[in-house]
């Protein structure tokens, strides 16, 4: 039985931490593709906004950066 690659272990660790956070995370297809919904930080111009991003983690993560796209937001900015 072979062990998971370092990249796979890193994805598992990072995504599990995100799932345990206060942010709303929706997995799309496994741990490599997901959406995150979060509130803008307090005492910033983003406060009061709701932000939605889509994240795609490549096979070579963390050595290759994730693809991150902003989805529809609810904000007065």
The Cα 72–Cα 55 span in angstroms is: 14
pLDDT of amino acid 4: 72
Higher pLDDT, 75 or 14: 14
The Cα 34–Cα 5 span in angstroms is: 20
Q: Looking at the domain assignment, is residue 48 inside a domain?
A: yes
pLDDT at 1 over 70: no
Q: What pTM value is reported for the model?
A: 0.81
The Cα 54–Cα 70 span in angstroms is: 7
Q: Looking at the domain assignment, is residue 3 inside a domain?
A: no
pLDDT at 3 over 90: no
Question: Using an 8 Å Cβ cutoff, are 57 and 9 in contact?
Answer: no
pLDDT of amino acid 33: 97
Q: Looking at the domain assignment, is residue 46 inside a domain?
A: yes
pLDDT of amino acid 70: 93
Q: Looking at the domain assignment, is residue 17 inside a domain?
A: no
pLDDT in tens, 6-61: 778 899 999 999 999 999 999 998 899 999 999 999 999 989 999 999 999 998 99
Its domain, for residue 52, covers: 23-77
């Amino acid at each position: 039985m072979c062990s998971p690659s370092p990249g796979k272990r890193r994805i598992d660790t990072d995504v599990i931490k995100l799932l345990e956070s206060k942010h709303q995370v929706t997995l799309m297809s496994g741990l490599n593709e997901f959406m995150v919904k979060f509130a803008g930080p307090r005492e910033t111009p983003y406060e009061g906004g709701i932000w939605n991003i889509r994240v795609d983690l490549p096979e070579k993560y963390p050595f290759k950066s994730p693809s991150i796209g902003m989805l529809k937001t609810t904000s007065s900015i």
